[in-house]
Amino acid sequence: MKFIDEYRDSEVIRSLLSQIGEEAVREEGYRLMEFCGGHTHAFYRYGLLPLLPERVTMVHGPGCPVCVLPISRIDAAVALAAKDDVIFCSYGDMLRVPGSDGKSLLKAKASGADVRMIYSPLDAMKLAEQNPDCQVVFFAVGFETTAPATALALKQAAERKAPNFTVFCNHVLTPPAMRAILDDGSLEGSMDGGADGSTVHGIVGPGHVSAIIGSSAYRFVAEENHIPLVISGFEPVDLLESILMLVRQINEENAAIINGYSRVVKDEGNPQAIALMDEVFDLRGSFEWRGFGMLPDSAQKLSSKFADYDAEIRFGVTYGEAHDHKACRCAEVLRGQLEPEGCSVFASVCTPENPLGACMVSSEGACAAAYQYGRHARGDQ
Amino acid sequence: MCLAIPAMITALHDENMGTVNLGGVEREVSLALVDATVGDYVIVHVGIAISKLDEDEAKRTLALFDELGAELDGLDGEAS
Amino acid sequence: MSRKLDLEQGFVDISFGAGGMASAQLTREIFAPEFSNPILNRMEDGAVIDMPKGRLVVSTDSHVISPIFFPGGDIGSLAIHGSVNDVAMMGAKPLHMSIGFIIEEGIPFSTLKRIAVSIGEAAREAGVSIVAADTKVVKKGEADQIYITSTCFGVVSDEVSIGADRAKAGDRVIVSGSIGDHGAAIMASREELSLTSSLKSDSQSLHDLVAAMLASGIDIHVMRDPTRGGLATSLNEIATTSGVGIEIDERAIPVHEGVRAVSELLGLDPLYFACEGRLAAICAGDDAEALLAVMRSHPKGSDAAIIGEVTASSEIPLILRSTFGGSRVVSVLTGDQMPRIC
């Protein structure tokens, strides 16, 4: 397939691996974080981790919008779905995520709730038009890549004055999460490295988020935290290219923001998408993130212009005190402080069939990826 | 985040919609956020095109990779 | 006496569930004409069958697929192919079938007729006679249109010994054709995804391909049709049962472009999509090329390919080697594959 296969070329991949091996010579090694869950998934899917030289280690970041959604909001989604005349529309990723007492949308569906899996928010709008006697609620999750689609659906709803369509908005923003990770005391951004080796030296930046927000959104990473960031695509060639560029930056003690996905990402991002999001969404003052607690200016809600389509308003959604499962350590995994294999319940009590937390359910959660693909990734071959 | 793949636009429709084709599988997607036309490749995510693929940039980076391969072959004579 | 059924406009109502004359009428007017064979036509309580020499092989399956009509097949033909293949995978010749139908009130007779015709065609092609059939009708909402339970009886020669525990280090793994076609076609036809494609299920009986493979005299160790859970699940099961490891090569596995496309679009893996007309065979390394040639010379195995080998290591049941030397564990499918956005 065009623009996919070329970036999986084995010759190029082997060359890049060879080059990385040659240039990654620093004693203290290269601790790189791939922020985006899609990248985590790609590393595992292509079996790249065992091929990287020992000095290069990847730390998994929190860029998994399914993983960072707190339990209280999942509970709210399940409660909305259970309402009598509601058709609750959700992406496939969210259906198995357990809320309190393990209740998920899929379980709610088994108990009689009308939960529908959809591929696009525009399909949720179609459902609303086809079912005028029902309230269609769309469960909007995702970072800046996905928010524009929600925004388009809302514009459509407003243009058609849809009386029965609302959005339960849980969109979150990348730069604040990145700040939180970098400013975390135990993950110092200094290039000198922490004594416990928990520093991140470079970041593999999200590819499709950047297609929307552009590269300038990450300037603070270079200017304030002095860490290089390379925006990367999702194919093996892209990932290795980005690692090579980071290794070079780190060797030269440079901290620049580099667009390594220039075939898709423009430095200015997608101005039409940005303008649309500005119109449809407002910043929430703060929002709870699993693993990070309350982060300021880190999430979106519907702007007052779209209040008529806001599920939180129409249904008076409230949030209870909800806690992760006692044994769940997703919070630490999301902060890059704990490897999945380091969690005592990983692959024993907590499995994809019986997930205790979102990191094991989401296809790009670090735990799901490790379980599916990489339980034996290190130490073989 | 975020599953999105390059697909070719094969038809344009009203209201900023278009048909994209990937390996013979087609879907209607929104083209409202890109300036693209039939024959262009767009990155499709949850039913909308979020970016138009810059074919010149793609060619340029692929050429760089070819160079990299040639460089290594030349330098150390190892079979890649 | 009851009127003849209106096959064009009529539909099943609950009186057909009352047993006795009404449901016998369904069997008589809709199903039996399509399944006609000397044993069934006797309409006895039980079918009396002369068994040839050898050991009896039996397999049962229940089919609840929705939609009941899909590109490349329907629930009826699927039921025949599925049970025939299960018996064939043991190296047996499928001979007879018994089918039970649970029918939801409200289903049109024309739909049932269409399924019956499809079953008849599939059974004739597979060389099996349907010797017993039963229908029951349930109230609306108690079944999703129609459920089918099918049992196939076959016979396996005493010389044949095929089983999931026979894979040995040094063996090769062969697939009879492209994988994931059925699962991808069903996924692509799901209304809520709004995809348009020409993907078709690969649903077909493999009795004749298996017969050709057995006739070659090659010692086949294992055969499996990778249905639910796909090739990945089947190979995992075989490796675990045999106490070995299996390594497959991504480059060697045949996958249709459209199946790849659906997988890329939805974030799914062809290795987990069901196949309903393919088999995986394992034989000694030295026999692999010969077996491959036999399979390729049969129309149902023309795209057969050697995709990997069996290793002694059994810690990880199944490993996939990628084109550039990377490798990853391929585990058993947990739950259904769900399209994802991340």
Q: Contacts of residue B23 in chain C, CB cutoff 8 Å?
A: 257-258, 260-261, 264
In a domain, C238, yes or no: yes
| Cβ contact, residue pair B48, A120, below 8 Å | yes
Q: In terms of domains, do C184 and C319 share one?
A: yes
* Residue C335 pLDDT class (50, 70, 90 cuts): confident
Q: Residue C130: beta bridge partners?
A: C97
In a domain, C88, yes or no: yes
Same structural domain, C147 and C235: no
* Domain, as residue range, for C186: 172-329
In angstroms, the separation between the Cα of residue C342 and the nearest Cα of chain B is: 4
CA–CA dist C67, C47 (Å, integer)? 32
- Whether this model's ipTM surpasses 0.85 comes out as yes
Residue C321, in any domain of the structure: yes
Least confident of A60-69, A151-160, C276-285: A60-69
**C335 → closest Cβ in A48, A123, A352:** A352
The alpha carbon of residue A311 is apart from the nearest alpha carbon of chain C, in Å, by 22
Q: What is the mean pLDDT of residues C1-9?
A: 78
| C-beta neighbour count of A321 within 10 angstroms | 7
**Residue C124: in which H helix or E strand, if any?**
helix C109-126
Choose among B3, B25, B46: nearest Cβ to C195: B25
A276 Cβ under 8 Å from any chain B Cβ: yes
Same domain, C94 and C225: no
User: Does C104 share its domain with C232?
Assistant: no
Do residue A273 and residue B55 have CB atoms under 8 angstroms apart? no
C265 near B CB under 8 A? yes
Q: Does some domain include residue C342?
A: no
Q: Hey, where are the domains in chain B?
A: 5-76
Q: Is the pLDDT of residue A63 over 90?
A: no
Structure tokens at A327: 């044994």
Give yes or no for residue A188 having a pLDDT over 70.
no
3-state SS, C149-175, equals EEEEEEEECCCCCCCCCCCCCCCEEEE
Whether residue A63 and residue B1 make contact (CB cut-off 8 A), yes or no, is yes
- CATH numeric code, B5-76: 2.30.30.140
Tell me how far the alpha carbon of residue A27 is from its chain's centroid: 32
**CA A28 – CA A353 distance, rounded (Å):** 39
Task: List chain A domain ranges.
Answer: 26-62+176-259, 71-173+271-314, 330-372
Answer whether A26-62+176-259 and A71-173+271-314 agree in fold: yes
From chain A, the residues in CB contact with B3 under 8 A are 38
Query: Are residues B6 and A2, on separate chains, in Cβ contact within 8 Å?
Result: yes
User: From A355, which residue of chain C is nearest by alpha-carbon distance?
Assistant: C334
How many beta-carbon contacts under 8 Å exist across A and B?
Answer: 128
Specify the pLDDT at position B6: 92
pLDDT band with cut points at 50, 70 and 90 for residue A157: very high
Strand-by-strand arrangement of the C93-104 sheet: C55-63, C146-156, C93-104, C129-138
Interface contact C52, partner A, CB < 8 A: no
DSSP letter at C96?
A: E
- List, for residues C136-194, the tens digit of each pLDDT value: 899 999 999 999 999 999 999 999 999 999 999 999 999 999 999 999 999 999 888 89
Does residue A196 surpass a pLDDT of 70?
no
* In the predicted structure, residue A371 carries a pLDDT above the cut 90: no
The Cα–Cα gap between A272 and A155 comes to 13
Q: Which fold has domain A71-173+271-314?
A: Rossmann fold (3.40.50)
pLDDT at B67 over 50: yes
Q: Which residue has the tokens 């009428």?
A: C25
- Residue C228 and residue C151 share a domain: no
Tally of structural domains, chain C: 2
Same domain, C185 and C288: yes
A55 vs A61, more confident: A55
* A334 or C284, which is more confident: C284
Top pLDDT among A108 and C22 is at A108
CATH superfamily to which A26-62+176-259 belongs: HypD, alpha/beta domain 1 (3.40.50.11750)
- d(C-alpha C38, C-alpha C41), whole Å: 5
Q: What is the CATH number of the domain that holds C183?
A: 3.90.650.10
In a domain, C191, yes or no: yes
Residues C152, C196: one domain? no
- Name the minimum distance, in Å, from the CA of B20 to any CA of chain C: 10
- E strand or H helix at C328, and its extent? strand C327-329
Interchain contact, B45 vs A272, CB within 8 Å = no
State whether B30 and A264 contact (CB < 8 Å). Answer: no
Q: Are residues C151 and C185 in the same domain?
A: no
Report the residue of chain A nearest C339, measured CA to CA. A92
pLDDT at B75: 47
Residues C129 and C229 in one domain: no
pLDDT digits (tens, 9 = 90+) for B9-26: 999 999 999 999 999 999
- In the predicted structure, residue A334 carries a pLDDT above the cut 90: no
Inform me whether the pLDDT recorded for B72 exceeds 70.
no
Q: Where are the beta strands (DSSP E) in B1-80?
A: 5-12, 17-22, 25-30, 41-45, 48-52
- Segment A75-128, tens digit of pLDDT: 999 999 999 999 999 999 899 998 988 899 999 999 999 999 999 999 999 999
Per-residue pLDDT, C129: 95
